[in-house]
Amino acid sequence: MSRFAAPIAEQIWDMKYRLKAADGAALDAGVEDTWARIAKALAEVEKEPEAWEGRFYAALEDFRFLPAGRIVAGAGTGRTVTLFNCFVMGTIPDTMAGIFDALKEAALTMQQGGGIGYDFSTIRPKGAPVAGVAADASGPLSFMDVWDAMCRTIMSAGSRRGAMMATMRCDHPDIEAFIAAKADPARLRMFNMSVLATDPFMEAVKADAAWDLTFGGTVFRTVRARDLWDRIMASTYDYAEPGVIFIDRINAKNNLWYAEEIAATNPCGEQPLPPYGACLLGSVNLARLVTDPFGEDAALDEDALDELVRVAVRMMDNVVDASRFPLPQQAEEARAKRRIGLGVTGLADALMMVGERYGSEEAAALTGRWMKRVAEAAYLASCDLAEEKGAFPLFDKDKFLASGSVAGLSDDVKTAIAEKGIRNALLTSIAPTGTISLYAGNVSSGIEPVFAHGYTRKVLQKDGTRTEEEVVDYAVSLWREKKGEDAPFPDWFVTAQDLAPLDHVRMQAAAQEWVDSSISKTINVPADIGFEAFKDVYLEAYETGCKGCTTYRPNEVTGSVLSVHDTTSLTGPDTPANDAPAEARPRRDVSGDVVYMSEPLDRPAALEGQTYKLKWPMSEHALYITLNDVIVNGQRRPFEIFINSKNMEHYAWIVALTRMISAVFRRGGDVSFVVEELKAVFDPRGGAWMGGKYIPSILAAIGGVIETHLVAIGFLAGEGLGLKSDPQAEALAVGERPGTSCSSCGSYDVRMIEGCVTCGNCGYSKCG
């Protein structure tokens, strides 16, 4: 009898977590072997391993406790890998040597598969004098481009997808350039970006006061705080970035307020970390702890929750000792503080099972109750560990008890801390858990709502054919099993698209009260939300105690994970909400109807066109690019492209490229996505600087030429305003709503998680 609740769960396990030999032969015969491997590896650091191995296995069994994917894949394999998911790197010095030393550390960390976070606020702003070299500084954004190229190179060498978080303080003189960086779709694609919003800044926004942009004690200029806030909001409204981190609240609530200063987070935002801090994650599966689901006595088994949390804390504490680290500074930091991030997954499913509507006041109250139970069980378990094994080295009883997070705990927990100490400086965090949740039977991810009740997935068979299978949410599957396949859903069976934005905020705030680190949560907002209502989401998050806020508004720029254009009626300018300011409105404007031809156009005898010369710095010979146009419905549009060069090294791919692009042009429709696809191509050997801008490859340069032509003929309103994906790439979620297919595996479980479009099927993720 398979332990897996759904075929997709077994496929995820086999693809990502099952131990295999170098030749692909399976070493974990079944998932039971995977659990046994993890349990044995984490018990080995105990004085009596045999006494704990069985308890660790029992916690893992039936997907009740879900360590983060890096632990599941790496523990007990004997491989030189880190079991920590992400890191915040050291503070970047404001010197050229220091900056590139930091770049080297980042490359070494990413090579082992760790995601990284950086605060770029420490680099002097663009135009500031550089002593001793008679030059002006190029600013932090220019060095972020270097990090971005490094991440692409590491990824191209066969490592896992690079993931980076960049933060910048709201008072840095280059903050406006940082906010606007993602308006260029080819720039900083490897980064998630967040603004560090301080309490004084938020108060200045509310008071409509002036705000100084400073560096090194020097005021570079003064702006209106509300104008700067609107710039942040407008960029997020259009491009889903930057996110906002309420950094003063993070530091005020930090249990280690007396020993560290936090200025950055891991790539998904749930772990604010100090320099060289590491992110160790695991989740309790609430969906597996509900007794009598959908029955009259449906309830979460809170005693079982307590016991599971206690074992999970011990297992995660052992990971600190069992793991390897890319850098010695990271190992030292982890062992000095022993911070862990125990969270939950399956919250939305558990709420459905007990009859509560996600986002309601009742569901938020119940979420708070469950999260308090998790937090206090974790703290008490850590106190017992401290009594047995010793407190974390930097523990200071009086200062620790005075921290913001500890203040709200029950008196018995505070007494235990005072009498026994505590093993782990911080204990709770809520991660996205996308792939891990699929592995556990497609339970709802983290504290997110159910994404969809069900969808279809195309599966590639060994004979090359594709079959379709239905992937159903865990709670929905259980409902069908108990009530019948055709039983109607009750009104509390909501999905992410059914919720008002403030419902999301309510749930995040309810959980945050009992989480000493932070929460990875994306607030989905409708495409037509008004700009003022959109801003209210962020202010509500701040006022209700959240430590950060990330939203996703599907639109022409960001793309939509929930819907696609009707290819028979796609027309010109979008109509923005009336209260959206000009800078917040969709920036692409196509005059006239966009026509999709059922058959490619025949080539007229004569065409108008333009030839452009492209001199790639890395090549001896120039490229000559000719673009010819046709007139359709009174609008000039591209019809074909020719590229010529004396360099025969490029001949084959040039011919292939011209034929493919010309074929796309001739089918009609909005073909501007070709520009964005080309501009996103990077060369692992390195790009080149052209016209003051870093171009990642010769193909990206060709994309830039095509874009210039499309702007010149009026097909595009301006640079960077093309579609980000092919609008004719249709996909439909079964019985629900349209969706976007994954470019890696073709499945339709594509969702937005912390600014990254992420596939729940194969784990592929594209940030930025």
Residues known to be catalytic? 266, 268, 270
Q: What is the DSSP string of 635-663?
A: EEEEEEEEEEES-GGGHHHHHHHHHHHHH
Q: Are 464 and 477 in contact (CB under 8 A)?
A: no
Strand ranges (DSSP E) for 390-502?
Answer: 454-460, 466-472
Long-range CB contact pairs, 398-407, < 8 A, 24+: 399/257, 399/258, 400/255, 400/258, 400/425, 403/253, 403/254, 403/255, 403/256, 403/257, 404/252, 404/253, 404/254, 404/257, 405/253, 405/254, 405/255, 405/516, 406/255
Tell me the C-alpha distance between 431 and 69, whole Å.
11
Tell me the C-alpha distance between 176 and 587, whole Å.
18
List, in sequence order, the alpha helices (H) in 181-295. Answer: 199-207, 225-239, 247-253
Q: What is the DSSP string of 716-756?
A: SSSTT-S-SS-TT---B-TTS-B----TTT--S-EEEETTE
Residue 247 CB neighbour total at 10 angstroms? 27
Phi, psi of 450 (to 5 degrees): -60, 130
Cα 456 to the center of its chain, rounded Å: 24
Tell me the C-alpha distance between 437 and 496, whole Å.
16
Q: Please count the CA atoms within 13 angstroms of the CA of 163 that sit on its side-chain side.
A: 25
Tell me the C-alpha distance between 40 and 44, whole Å.
6
**Token couple for 472:** 């159903």
Tell me the C-alpha distance between 479 and 361, whole Å.
24
Residue (of 554, 768, 567) closest to 679 by Cα position:
768
Tell me the C-alpha distance between 631 and 387, whole Å.
79
Strand ranges (DSSP E) for 198-308?
Answer: 210-215, 218-224, 243-246, 264-265, 272-273, 278-279, 281-285, 290-291, 299-300
Q: Please count the CA atoms within 13 angstroms of the CA of 191 that sit on its side-chain side.
A: 33
Residue (of 599, 675, 605) closest to 638 by Cα position:
675
Tell me the C-alpha distance between 631 and 124, whole Å.
50
Contacts of 512 (CB under 8 A, 6+ apart): 518, 519, 545, 546, 547
Tell whether the torsion through CA atoms of 102, 104, 105 and 109 is positive or negative: positive
